[in-house]
Amino acid sequence: MTDKQTILVTGATGSIGGGAAVALAKRGAGVVLLGRKLEKLEARADSIRVALSEAQIDYQDTDIASLVIDFSDMESVRLAAAEALNRFPRIHGLVLSAVAQTPTTGPNILPSGHELMFATNVMGPFLFTQLLLERMQQSDGLVLHVIAPYYKEIDWDDVESISNHKPMTAYERTKTMHRVIAAELARRYAGKISSVAFNPGFIFDKSDPELTKRWLSTGLTGYFYRIMAVFIAKPPAFAGEPVANLMLSHKDRSAINGALFKLDKRVEKPDKAMNNEEWGKRLWDELVLKTGLTTE
Ligand SMILES: NC(=O)c1ccc[n+]([C@@H]2O[C@H](COP(=O)([O-])OP(=O)(O)OC[C@H]3O[C@@H](n4cnc5c(N)ncnc54)[C@H](OP(=O)(O)O)[C@@H]3O)[C@@H](O)[C@H]2O)c1
């Protein structure tokens, strides 16, 4: 990477992460694309290079890097974090946009014993962020959590939503947890790094055949998403631009620490999940235990 801001983007092969990566690269950041498969990451990197060339923006090949990670697997998360620390001497930002959503099945219990959506959406990103925090503090780092506005009460006796598993409820709980953790990180690390929650609205990359197959296939969910995709969904750039603004336009990042944004707009109304300090402490402690961070 050249002497640019280095921003890690998880979910970079998806709609919002992809839009964010392009917008960041166009604004002159070095981007590191994170995802499970190297071929997909390389294809996304190539498409970003094409977009930069078409926009006549100078770049070096090393300004767009790839890093393989599987957020459902804590060993993979640890390896990827170690690789990131090794390859990127400065890390200015982290966009957390990876997501697993299994709308009709579950609970999907991984060999580790954890539930798939909980591990991928909550544990993995938490562990990865923790392992990069020290490096990010050296560059006034900003962690941007891509959230959804759903509110679903956390079941503290069943944090992973394994008993009486309802896939949509389990998913929405993980999204509620994103806001809880975004706010708790902001409280704990104020003055060291900054943390914001970002609500992208409804975004869908209709040009991506894999996403189209996954979301617009048959069944009731596919039908619902098809209607939404046609009439309401915005393209990835619609969320990508405000992510790039948040990452690159704030000289004093501490001024936005702990804030919730809907695209470019700061939401002034207090958010139930973000404001609850008791939940913040409780979930943080649970995640420290579940990810094995106490044994470090
Ligand atoms: N799109 C919307 O309208 C919308 C609205 C509100 C909130 N959000 C939130 O925005 C975020 C991104 O949504 P999206 O629509 O961009 O999702 P998406 O298009 O479905 O992309 C999901 C991304 O997550 C990655 N991923 C899945 N499982 C993974 C794992 N185990 N390890 C590492 N990466 C994994 C996928 O990478 P692979 O290439 O490895 O599969 C892909 O890049 C999510 O947190 C979602 O809840 C989205």
Q: Which of 16, 72, 207 to mutate for ligand 1's pocket (most ligand atoms within 8 Å of CB)?
A: 16
Residue 140 zone, left/alpha/beta (φ > 0; ψ -120 to 50; rest): left
Measured CA to CA, the distance from residue 257 to residue 240 in angstroms comes to 20
Place of tokens 């890690």: 8
Q: Which of 22, 184, 159, 192 lies closest to 95, judged by CA?
A: 22
The mean pLDDT of 93-114, rounded to a whole number, is 93
Token pair recorded at residue 26:
């166009």
Q: Which of 281, 269, 285, 16 lies closest to 144, judged by CA?
A: 16
Cβ–ligand 1 contact at 262 (below 6 Å): no
Token pair recorded at residue 230:
């046609």
The mean pLDDT of 69-90, rounded to a whole number, is 98
Cα end-to-end distance, the chain, whole Å: 30
Place of tokens 């604004």: 27
158 near 109, Cβ under 8 Å? no
Tell how far the Cα of 72 is from the centroid of ligand 1, in angstroms: 13
Cβ–ligand 1 contact at 17 (below 6 Å): yes
Chain segment 29-78, per-residue pLDDT in tens: 999 999 999 999 999 999 999 999 999 999 999 999 999 999 999 999 99
Chain segment 244-255, per-residue pLDDT in tens: 999 999 999 999
Measuring from atom 8 of ligand 1, which residue has the nearest CA? 148
Measured CA to CA, the distance from residue 196 to residue 183 in angstroms comes to 7
Q: What is the secondary structure of 38-89 as a DSSP string?
A: HHHHHHHHHHHHHHHHHTT----GGGEEEEE--TT-HHHHHHHHHHHHHH-S
Count of Cβ atoms closer than 10 Å to residue 23 Cβ: 25
Q: What is the pLDDT of residue 216?
A: 66
Q: Which atom of ligand 1 is nearest to the CA of 37?
A: 40
Q: Kindly give the pairing relationship between strand 194-199 and strand 142-146.
A: parallel
The neighbouring-strand residues paired with 20 are none
Q: How confident is the model at residue 210 (pLDDT cuts 50, 70, 90)?
A: confident
Tell how far the Cα of 99 is from the centroid of ligand 1, in angstroms: 4
Q: Which atom of ligand 1 is nearest to the CA of 96?
A: 45
Q: Kindly give the pairing relationship between strand 260-262 and strand 265-266.
A: antiparallel
Cβ–ligand 1 contact at 14 (below 6 Å): yes
Tell how far the Cα of 16 is from the centroid of ligand 1, in angstroms: 7
Cβ–ligand 1 contact at 92 (below 6 Å): no
Chain segment 228-241, per-residue pLDDT in tens: 777 788 999 999 99
Measured CA to CA, the distance from residue 252 to residue 241 in angstroms comes to 19
Token pair recorded at residue 106:
């579950």
Measuring from atom 6 of ligand 1, which residue has the nearest CA? 148
- Domains of the chain: residue spans and CATH: 6-205+236-291 (3.40.50.720)
Q: Which atom of ligand 1 is nearest to the CA of 71?
A: 32
Count of Cβ atoms closer than 10 Å to residue 195 Cβ: 27
The neighbouring-strand residues paired with 109 are 115
Tell how far the Cα of 98 is from the centroid of ligand 1, in angstroms: 4
Q: What is the secondary structure of 207-256 as a DSSP string?
A: T-HHHHHHHSSSHHHHHHHHHHHHHT-B-HHHHHHHHHHHHHS-SSGGGG
165 near 101, Cβ under 8 Å? no
pTM: 0.95
Cβ–ligand 1 contact at 69 (below 6 Å): yes
pLDDT over threshold 70, residue 144? yes
6 near 88, Cβ under 8 Å? yes
Count of Cβ atoms closer than 10 Å to residue 206 Cβ: 15
Q: How confident is the model at residue 164 (pLDDT cuts 50, 70, 90)?
A: confident
Cβ–ligand 1 contact at 13 (below 6 Å): yes
Q: Which of 10, 99, 122 to mutate for ligand 1's pocket (most ligand atoms within 8 Å of CB)?
A: 99
Measuring from atom 1 of ligand 1, which residue has the nearest CA? 203
